[in-house]
Amino acid sequence: RKRVGGKEIVRPANWGGFLVRPVEVEFWQGRPNRLHDRIRYQLTNSYDWKIDRLSP
């Protein structure tokens, strides 16, 4: 719960949303020579991000 100035922030009844907690994200950047850049981020058990270059 969030508070501002000692008052609770009220969520509107018509509001909805999603909480996204990624554990793996991959970024891909295409190149004309087909040596595309692919980089993967993986969340570790210690909440650090492990970064791997998948290609080239």
Residue 6 has φ and ψ, to the nearest 5°, of: 80, -5
Annotated active-site residue in 3, 21, 31, 34: 34
Distance CA 46, CA 35 (A): 33
Q: Is 34 a catalytic residue?
A: yes
Which residues, other chains included, contact 22 with Cβ-Cβ below 8 Å and sequence gap of 6+? 43
> Could you list the active site residues?
34
